[in-house]
Structure 1
Amino acid sequence: MYHNHHKALNMKKFVLFLLLAISFPAYAQKKAIINGYAESASDKERLTGATVIADPDLGVATNNYGFYSLTLPLGTYKLSCRFVGYKTIIKQIDLKNDTTINFQLPTGIELEEIEVKAKRTDEVSSQLSSLSFLNPAMEEIDRMPVILGERDVLKTLQFQPGIKSARESSAGFNVRGGSNDQNLILLDGVPVYNVNHLFGFFSVFNSDAIKSVSMYKGGIPARYGGRLSSVLDISMKEGNMQEPRGVFSISPVSARMTYEAPIKKDTAAFIVSLRRTLLDIPMFLYQAAIERDGNYGYYFYDFNAKTNWIINNRNRVYLSVYSGKDSQYSNDNRDGTNSKFRYNWGNVTSVFRWNHIFSPKLFSNISAYYSRYQLENLGSTKSAKQKVVFHATSEMQDLALKADFDWYLSPSYTLRFGGKASRMAFAPNIVQMKGDDADITLNEEQKNNSFHVESFVENNLKTGIFSLNLGVRGVTYITGKKTYSYLEPRAALRVQPHTGFSATISYTKMTQFIHLLSNSSLGMPTDLWVASTDEVKPQESRQISAGIEQRFSKYVFGVETYYKWMHDVIRFEEGAVFLSSQDTKWHKNISVGQGRAYGAEFMVKKVQGKLTGMLSYTLAWSERQFNEVNQGRWFPHKYDRRHDISLLGEYRILNNKHREKSISFGFTLQSGNNLSMPDVEYEGIYLPGASENTHGVPDWQQSKQSYDNPNNLKMPVFHHLDLGYNLKRKKQDGKTYTWSFSVYNVYNRMNPWYYYKNPGGQVKQISIFPVIPSVGFKYTF
């Protein structure tokens, strides 16, 4: 015991000595602070991850809001600022006292920027490898091959190792063996709880309104929390402070319009973006032409808006709003009976953000946000004899106040800290049935509220060959009569013994307080968000990852391994019906167990020249264990995919001030998903006004299945090749015209999208994506 105590005292002395050694130079000579912002010269957009360098050993990256701070000894410096896709700015300064310098970078790629491109990941997150942290440029995403002309951030990310789609051409994704609900997805710092349009085929993110994308698969910093597997942080554009600009885009699926302009030049600006499907318009015209007695259709839309105002050099405020909705509807008039059906789901998010500079070294971001996801199912039947109305809703709301601080103590040491207080309200599976003689509401008691209090501290240290991020996140979660408290340590270390080579290791502990109930017996997006309760504990995960990376002038090679432990994960009973006509508490239909995922990711990138791209291979395992399922034995997770090969690239045919031409390509080959086939099938529960003879009764009302052996069908190998051709014309007045031609699934591979059993017990395959050519047009003015 004495020996251990003595060791602990020695460790404390060592840490104290290290801190004193770091801070000692501050007292050895006089210093001054240079701080400011890096922004685009054309529209004053703040640039996240731009690097400001005083000399090879003294530099810093701008934070999420474009702010930087450097503490330097007095003297003369050649200060440079660089960012991918922009020309480097160099300023000569004679540092005598604290100075504010804002960099305004002109657009345009210089030859040196091609070499910088490979270093961008290190500059933004110096403790992580490019396999744990992804920071793709939006202009690269816009040139990748797509399906039906729809640019989609989430689908482009799925070509990265360790990130895979739930189903073919699905926007939902799984990261390193986790479930899709274990990904924290943020839009301007606000959680988005449903990212799917068109039953999962497209995401809710309009690429024309996005400024930047950052994704963490491992080594997640302490400032992020609430999910087990990954963080996807998306930032909207801020609005052009110099001149009005607009973008119009059209594809076979949707039309998009974006407009941004200054409210007051160099002081305030706004941006508005709208996207809507075109699918319902020809369907409506056709039904009107044939004089159909009733109509049916589907549409979705997205609306983004943001404004910001520079109050003075120390203060800037932002207000951003997002609203999106999917709607499927039908109206029928048959035999004197009028039937109406509406199925709607969508998100609303809004955030007010205040950036304040307390001192040249201390930057703060204080925000208040609101996020809501709502699912609504409305049906009515009206005849001369009776009227029956069925209304089912599921809703969650998230209201929060948060504050983050960046304290630049020295060029080699940054301290980040902050906290959040939030209230979440859940109303899952609220069913209301009205008739001539009855008005019944079910499941009201399933409503519940939860409260979260979170805080974090991050220490970012760079000294010599070492880059370290050491942090901890504390979380208290209150629901009903239960209080849960967790401490989440985080650590990421990178060692760079010489130029080009680095080794990384990271450890992350995460906690998740919400659960997504996924029901495989329904074909509609009826997944429900629910909160942890007195009976259902929060989920926990621990992940350790380690890798090496070697960079050359043209190529980057990397390999990373990981192991993830998951505890208190839930599994919703397959075949259970959400919209039951009985009062059924959701936690009665779940199993609680554990999970594990592990694997290795290999990657080679070419980052210079006309041909650029990435080839990757992933070897992975993902398993689950529940005492009540499969006799308590471990079994493969639904998205356990052993092998994955992905190729994504671009060949620049022409690139000058008047024209750009390029060919893009994407290929993926993956082991198939695991699918549960029912062992027993029996009669289901019909909604009011429906029976086995009622026209259009969905399958989930007609039958219910039981699954004794989960994930008992292994789907075949999945693969497809996509090609794209982009032609961009630039006019002298700044207008551009871009034509994009794509072919999805070039060789017409009929990958299975789903399997089912027919009445004879035979397993049948459904494939819905043959070869699909498309064309898209984009006009910038």
Structure 2
Amino acid sequence: MGTKCCSMQKKHLNTLIGFMFLLVIGGNIYAQSEPKTTLLLRNVLTELEKTYNVKFSFADGDVNAIQVSKPNSDSLEVILKELSEATGITIKKLNDRYYTLTKATTISICGFVFDNFEENTIPGATIEIYDSEISGITTENGSFSFDNVPINSLIHIKHLGYKPIFMKAKEFIKTSKCKTVAMALSYQELEEVIVTQFLTTGLNKLNNASFELNPSKFGILPGVSEPDILQTVQALPGIKSVDETVSDINIRGGTNDQNLILWDGIKMYQTGHFFGLISAFNPYVTENVSIIKNGTSAKYGGGVSGTLSMKSMEELPLTFSGGAGVNLISGDIFGEIPIGEKSAIQVSARRSYTDFLNTPTYTTFSEKAFQDSEVDNQSEFYFYDFSTKFIHEINPDHKLSTSMITMSNNLNYFETTDEATAPDRSNLNQDNFSIGGQLQSEWTNKITSVLSAYYTQYDLDALTISNNDAQRLTQNNLVKESNLKLATTYKLRDNLNWTNGYEFTETGIENTTNLNQPPFASNIKGVIRQHALFSEIQYASENDKLQGTIGGRINYYENLNTFKEYIFEPRINISYELMPNFKTEILGEYKSQVTNQIIDLEQNFLGIEKRRWILSDGKDLPITKSKQGSIGFNYDTNTLYIGIDGFYKEVNGINVYTQGFQNQNQFDGEIGSYVVKGAEFLINTKNNDYSAWLSYTFNKNDYTFDILTPTTFPNNLDVRHSLTVAGNYTIGNLKLGVGLNYKSGKPFTQPDENDPVDETVFPSQINYEEPNSSRLPEYFRADASANYTLKINDTVNAILGASVLNFTNRRNTLNTYYRLQDDNTIETIERLSLGITPNASVRIRF
């Protein structure tokens, strides 16, 4: 009995002791979990002045809104050090009694980058400091450290295989213990390793042989003080414009309508303002541009010549940012605005002021645009574009975005003739409206998907009222396209991804012409539906020496039961590091497209915009198909890049109407092909202050039309030799660029010197020599540009820019063709290049 009693007492005593122990531990845990007391910095300084008999001098605006934790030390020196580290404010001791506090504009930062899955440090992660040129990578233990970092800047942390992170620099203020950050694994498709600074900052070459342009980091190129997207891409080897426009870009000898141009995944049928002299896409809301000449991903359809894919804001911004600017043609404004923690909107607007103010740039542009047209006394011309994008993060695994862009060119003018009592009135309107959406989802650690859809509409309208208001001519080209695409990516292994998808596209195009005197009406319309399945494997070896993508695409085309056709398009893109800094690239692709532009010299839109979009019909204009292969070698270090590529491209199913013939074959409507054999060479030496390069491109581009005589002759775009020597230099906040461009003359066809006119037929015709048997004179142009960044305060910069195209004022001949007059004499028409063309700009970034 006694033993049992004692045992019970001992048990109760142990229980009591255990309960008291839990109370003590719980009290300590509770005490430790209590939030730290925060005080206004101003009040803390007042208490320190009383306690330690000192005085602090500071600007009210620097400390009024700052809160800090309650000091827990008795040492003034320790307290001041903690306050400085926590706030970024510099505290300087003047003597034993007086101290000054100044708000720093720059800070020192440090941190450690971890893998939150394996809890290991991540060496080699890229650290980029926005609003500065500071960047670097983490060390072997995952650490990084930088000095003189703008206090209000953002930090972008990224690494292959991990989701990128954006954080404020203030969160990494260097203290005795550096901040740690964990990166989540990403199961998106394999990322490419980029070459930092290719020709200029913001222009990079990727491991898949494509190029990436980041306008926000764009440095400077000769003749381009602002990052005009479609002008900038022409600095790359193999990409030129034979007529000096951005809306007629020729990639490896192809026509502009053979390029696939995407904006946020939406196909664009209008790309230029001012009849192609200015890019229609605002570079300040374009986050990056991918330029692909060969080895295209299977997820892209169309564009037998090349692909340009532009993307606007893709990540939620942490703070409001924006800017505005004006140059000698137009003004624009843009902004990125966070809406809560999960949403943001991006907007941009641009408009020319050419309808009420003439400038030297506008005068030069007008002379070139209207030099061989009917426009003598234009009354009004202006353009505008507007875009917006909304991003909403539904949850960490699902993100929704919608994009919209609209653009317009408008020309109205009057012409007065001696015979007419009323002036001839004409106008031309070119409009594009596009809207699209995208849902990005991460379903598991291995499966992701992207669901997207868009609708785009392009409309070109022309109206001419003449002969004392008695004659009215209207012309219209209308394109409507809808698209739905689903792409899924499955992570087979850490270095192996498998992407599959389906795409549906419906394209309708209508061309109408109506004339009241004499009565004439034409209305040609068509619709093509395309179903496509695509699949590809992306692989990267563990040491990243071998990277590649192999896949294919099956297209099924249907044109309102007129024709049906299946087309298989294999794709390959492989790069291998043969030795350190030395790589080889093997690329190949089959592609097809059903949209083309015809150039009608008789039924043109006021003689200015001669291009009309049309659809393949399976007969007069078959589906255009291409096959291309290339091999390249490049050597790249931090200071030197040398690259050479050889390629072969064959395009079948072209019609003479789509090629712009201006000779005896321009009305034949024959079907043929062209073959381009060429090589591209580039050497680029660079460091932090300068970049200099020399590029050379050789093309041999020949048509084959079995019915014409001869059957094979030079392509209209057969520019055999193209050479660029250029460079840029940075001196503090000043950037300078200068360059020389040379091209051999493109081919054209002259009238027969011995028998120029055939008067035996009615109406009389010009007798031409063999097609494209003559060459224009060589082309030479020298350009220069400069810009200066003026730092107004911590968050606002002003950028002053100036550029001069063709500062030698050499008038190059871009094209020559001939017209037969009523008296059977031949008129020679020459299109000349831009003369000396100055431009200047002022921008504010905040």
Specify the code of the residue in structure 2 equivalent to 1:517.
I
Q: 1:548 to 1:298 in 2, by over 3 A?
A: same
Instruction: Give the CA deviation at 1:454.
Output: 1.0
**Residues paired across the two proteins, number:** 652
- Residue equivalent to 1:19: none
Q: C-alpha separation between the residues in 2 aligned to 1:247 and 1:772? A: 26
Q: 1:170 to 1:235 in 2, by over 3 A?
A: closer
Instruction: Indicate the residue corresponding to 1:476 in structure 2.
Output: 556
Distance 1:642 1:337 in 2: 50
Quote the residue 1:459 is aligned against: 537
Measure the CA separation in 2 of the matches of 1:114 and 1:366.
27
Is 1:739 the counterpart of 2:800? The answer is yes
CA distance in 1, matches of 2:679, 2:251: 13
Moved more, 493-502 or 452-461: 493-502
- Asked whether 1:641 is paired with 2:723, we answer no
Q: For residues 704 and 303 of structure 1, what CA distance do their matches in structure 2 show?
A: 47
Q: What corresponds to 2:488 in structure 1?
A: 405
- From 641, 653, 669, the equivalent of 1:568 is 653
Q: 1:719 aligns with which of 772, 780, 791?
A: 780
Identity %: 22
Cα distance change on mapping 1:593 and 1:204 into 2, 3 Å: same
Structure 1 match to 2:398: 315
Instruction: Please give the TM-score of this superposition, normalised by the length of structure 1.
Output: 0.76
Q: 1:502 aligns with which of 583, 600, 609?
A: 583
Report the counterpart of residue 54 of structure 2 in structure 1: none
Q: For the structure 1 residues 326 and 704, does the alpha-carbon distance in structure 2 shift closer, same or farther, using more than 3 Å as the test?
A: farther
Q: CA deviation at 1:77?
A: 3.5
The CA deviation string for residues 679-726 of structure 1, in whole angstroms up to 9 with x for no partner, is: 77899xxxxxxxxxxxxxxxxxx9997867433431111111111111
Aligned to 1:448: 526
Gaps of 5+ in 2: 1-111, 143-160, 171-192, 360-376
> Residues 623-702 of structure 1 correspond to what in structure 2 (within 5 A)?
623-632=702-711, 634-654=712-732, 660-677=733-750
Structure 1 residues 623, 749: CA separation in 2 closer, same or farther (over 3 Å shift)? same
Q: 1:604 aligns with which of 661, 683, 691?
A: 683
Write out aligned runs for 1:90-489 (5 A).
103-104=165-166, 116-117=196-197, 125-126=206-207, 128-129=208-209, 133-139=210-216, 141=218, 143-146=220-223, 151-237=227-313, 241-264=317-340, 266-282=341-357, 296-331=379-414, 337=422, 339-381=424-466, 387-428=470-511, 430-434=512-516, 442-444=521-523, 446-463=524-541, 465-480=545-560, 481-489=562-570
Q: Does the 8 A contact of 2:196 with 2:204 survive in 1?
A: no
2:101 counterpart residue number: none
Give the superposition deviation at 1:502.
0.9
In the TM superposition, residue 75 of structure 1 has moved relative to its aligned partner by: 6.3
Displacement of 1:382 = 8.6
Q: Aligned-pair distance for 1:675?
A: 2.8
Secondary structure at the residue paired with 1:359?
coil
Name the aligned partner's letter for residue 720 of structure 2.
Answer: R
Q: Which moved more, 1:547-556 or 1:513-522?
A: 513-522
Provide the rounded CA distance (Å) in 2 between the counterparts of 1:587 and 1:269: 52
Partner Cα separation in structure 1 for residue 660 and residue 497 of structure 2: 51
TM-superposed CA distance for 1:773, in Å, is 2.7
1:179-212 CA deviation, whole Å, 9 max, x = no partner?
1111111101111112122122122111122110
- The answer as to whether partners of 1:241 and 1:263 remain within 8 angstroms in 2 is no
CA distance in 2, matches of 1:336, 1:241: 60
**Partner of residue 515, structure 1:** 596
State the Cα distance separating 1:484 from its structure 2 match.
0.9
Residue 754 of structure 1 and its aligned partner are, at CA, apart by 3.5
Which residue type is aligned with residue 838 of structure 2? P
Matched letter for residue 743 of structure 2? Q
2:157 aligned with 1:76, yes or no?
Answer: no
Answer whether contact 1:423 1:449 (CA < 8 A) is retained: yes
CA gap of 1:644–1:333, structure 2 versus 1, over 3 A, is closer
Distance in 1 between the 2:757 and 2:325 partners? 47
**Aligned AA (1:247):** G
How many angstroms apart in 1 are the aligned matches of 2:782 and 2:493?
A: 49
Secondary structure in 2 aligned to 1:158? helix
Question: CA deviation digits over 1:281-315, x for unaligned, max 9?
Answer: 1369xxxxxxxxx9722111111111111111111
Show the counterpart of 1:39.
none
Q: What is the CA deviation profile of residues 562-621 of structure 1, one whole-angstrom value per residue up to 9, with x for unaligned ones?
A: 0112211221188999xxxxxxxx998521111100111111122423112432111111
1:465-487 residue CA offsets vs partner (Å, 9 max, x unmatched): 32221100110000133101100
Shift of 1:106: 6.1
Provide the residue aligned with 2:374 in structure 1: none
Task: Answer 1 or 2: higher relative contact order, Cα 8 Å, separation at least 6.
Answer: 1
Alpha-carbon deviations, 1:233-284, whole Å to 9, x = none? 11123586333332111111111111231222x3111121111112111369
| Deviation sequence 1:397-439 (CA, Å, 0-9, x none) | 11011112232332211112212111111102x122347xx9x
CA contact (8 A) 1:114 1:607 kept: no
Asked whether the 8 Å contact 2:215–2:284 carries over to 1, the reply is: no
The unaligned stretches of length 5 or more in structure 1 are 1-52, 56-69, 94-98, 285-293, 578-585, 655-659, 684-701
Distance 1:101 1:395, change over 3 A: closer
- Whether 2:527 is the aligned partner of 1:527: answer no
Asked whether the equivalents of residues 71 and 410 of structure 1 are also in contact (C-alpha less than 8 Å), the reply is: no
CA distance in 2, matches of 1:589, 1:311: 57
1:519-558 per-residue CA deviation (whole Å, 9 max, x = no partner) reads 4565421211111113132011111100111122311111
Structure 2 distance, partners of 1:155, 1:771, is: 17
Q: 1:732 aligns to what SS in structure 2?
A: coil
Task: Look up the SS of the partner of 1:280 in the other structure.
Answer: coil
- Whichever residue aligns with residue 256 of structure 2, its letter is N
- In 2, are the aligned partners of 1:141 and 1:151 still within 8 Å (CA)? yes
Cα–Cα, structure 1 residues 466 and 349, in superposed 2: closer, same or farther, change >3 Å?
A: same
Please say if residues 222 and 728 of structure 2, whose CA atoms lie closer than 8 Å, have aligned partners that are also in contact. Answer: no
- Please tell me the residue identity of whatever aligns with 2:612: L
Q: Distance in 2 between matches of 1:628 and 1:236?
A: 47
Are the aligned partners of 1:239 and 1:271 in contact in 2 as well (CA < 8 Å)?
A: no
Deviation, 1:140, is 5.4
Contact 1:676 1:711 in 2 (8 A): yes
What letter matches 1:721 in structure 2? A
- As a proportion of its length, which structure holds more strand? 1
Change (3 A) 1:54 1:415: farther
